[in-house]
Amino acid sequence: MNEKMLPPIAIELTKSPKARPPADKLGFGKYYTDHMFIMDYDTDRGWHEPRIVPYQPITLDPSAKVFHYGQTVFEGLKAYPTADGRILLFRPRKNAERLNRSNERLSMPTLDEEIVLEGLKQLVKIDRDWIPNEPGTSLYIRPFVIATESALGVAPSREYKFMIILSPVGMYYAGGMKPISIFVESKYVRAVEGGVGTAKTAGNYAASLKAQEEAARLGCDQVLWLDGVQRKYVEEVGSMNVFFRIGDKVVTPALNGSFLAGVTRDSVIQMLRHWEVPLEERAITIDEIVQAYREGRLTEIFGTGTAAVISPVGELCWHGERMKVGNGSAGELSARIYDTLTGIQTGKLEDPFDWTIAIDGAE
């Protein structure tokens, strides 16, 4: 229910639609649809000229601030087709809100969340025939803001571009729901309290690559990040939030100001509470995890995030030891969460949480 007058979104349709990629070649973030949303900001006019245009390169001065001082934030969410021909978005308001929290942390101008949502809906509607239909596929939506002012002084940019691009995607991990192996990182740190770890901003991802490379060299798929102060509390796995099933409980790190408050994380928490599965959101040390493993009480680990939804973890690599968790396929709870979440996302299952929004319908 939006009572405000939104500025009209100008629409210019492409004259040369691209060929659709084959569904089995989609991968993640390799193909982009025919159109994009764009809106400009400067300190005089604020955000202005929302428009949908043919997908096209952007042209910036080499001194544009995004290239030098990294003022950029982004979001990720997905649109899913339903069996009865509708298109569902999953909790897009949460992404619009977080985009603004990220903007604030990075000293960037906030956006009218209604325009973000309206731009996103109109764009998805225009490119709706790009949404793939095969199991595990979806249309990934990437809203992002970049600092575009041409100036080398270290200070917040006075000009920005907000854009939304769309990418038809397959499963995030080529191996599907096959459990991944994670390396417990004790050398590198992703973020620390007081830093930008809670913002979805480029620098956090750049900072994670080296650890990821070294983990891959040791045969691990992802990194389990520990806190940067005491190096003992578990924070995230790769760029996902993380959950541990220990005995009859599920434990996940409480939001502590150094990692991202994931939308999927929040959804999993609500779902577990709905199911009356005992859940603890609290600080959890790697030592507690290892001890639970030794006592045979660590039965499942899984990561949560928009790209992979649920990513079961089958192995922890810690101090040279490889600790197997589960039996080599997704754990019972991980699978149940995945099936329920994707069922709701694709409209196959009832949505008791009111999470989905149909593109054409009222909220």
Q: Which residues neighbour 76 within 8 Å (Cβ) at sequence distance 6 or greater?
A: 95, 140, 141, 142, 200, 306, 307
**Which of 9, 60, 261, 290 lies at the binding interface for a copy of itself (CB under 8 A)?**
60
Q: Rounded CA gap, 6 and 23, in Å?
A: 36
Range 161-180, binding a copy of itself (CB under 8 A): 163, 165, 167
**Which of 18, 48, 125, 210 lies at the binding interface for a copy of itself (CB under 8 A)?**
210
Among the listed ranges 83-91, 125-133, 201-209, 331-339, the one in contact with a copy of itself (CB under 8 A) is: 201-209
Site string for a copy of itself, 9-48 (x = CB under 8 A): ------------------xxxx-x---x------------
**Which of 51, 86, 142, 178 lies at the binding interface for a copy of itself (CB under 8 A)?**
142
Does position 193 bind a copy of itself by CB under 8 A? Answer: yes
Q: Rounded CA gap, 152 and 167, in Å?
A: 33
Place of tokens 């939006």: 2
Q: Rounded CA gap, 338 and 167, in Å?
A: 22
Does position 53 bind a copy of itself by CB under 8 A? Answer: no
Does position 5 bind a copy of itself by CB under 8 A? Answer: no
Min dist. Cβ of residue 53 to a copy of itself (A): 11
Among the listed ranges 69-77, 115-123, 316-324, 329-337, the one in contact with a copy of itself (CB under 8 A) is: 69-77
**Which of 228, 326, 331, 347 lies at the binding interface for a copy of itself (CB under 8 A)?**
228
Whether residue 316 contacts residue 299, with contact meaning beta carbons closer than 8 Å, is answered with no
Q: Which residues neighbour 169 within 8 Å (Cβ) at sequence distance 6 or greater?
A: 26, 27, 28, 29, 78, 132, 137, 138, 139, 140, 307
Min dist. Cβ of residue 289 to a copy of itself (A): 20
Q: Which is nearer to a copy of itself, 137 or 239 (CB)?
A: 239
Burial class (CB in 10 A: 0-12, 13-18, 19+), 280: middle
Q: Rounded CA gap, 60 and 132, in Å?
A: 32
Min dist. Cβ of residue 236 to a copy of itself (A): 12
Min dist. Cβ of residue 109 to a copy of itself (A): 13
**Which of 12, 213, 281, 332 lies at the binding interface for a copy of itself (CB under 8 A)?**
213
Closest by CA to 118, choosing from 169, 50, 46, is 50
Closest by CA to 346, choosing from 121, 139, 116, 94, is 139
Does position 67 bind a copy of itself by CB under 8 A? Answer: yes
Question: What stretches of 274-346 adopt beta strand conformation (E)?
Answer: 279-281, 298-305, 309-318, 321-324
Q: Rounded CA gap, 235 and 99, in Å?
A: 21
Residue 226 CA, chain-centre distance (Å), reads: 20
With CB under 8 A, what is the number of residues at the site for a copy of itself?
67
Does position 241 bind a copy of itself by CB under 8 A? Answer: no
Q: Which is nearer to a copy of itself, 168 or 179 (CB)?
A: 168
Place of tokens 């810690």: 318
Range 272-301, binding a copy of itself (CB under 8 A): none
Does position 218 bind a copy of itself by CB under 8 A? Answer: no
CA torsion sign for 21, 123, 271, 227 is: positive
Q: Residues in the site for a copy of itself, rule: CB under 8 A?
A: 27-30, 32, 36, 55-63, 66-72, 74, 105-107, 140, 142, 144, 146, 150-156, 163, 165, 167, 187-196, 201-210, 212-213, 228-229, 231, 238-239
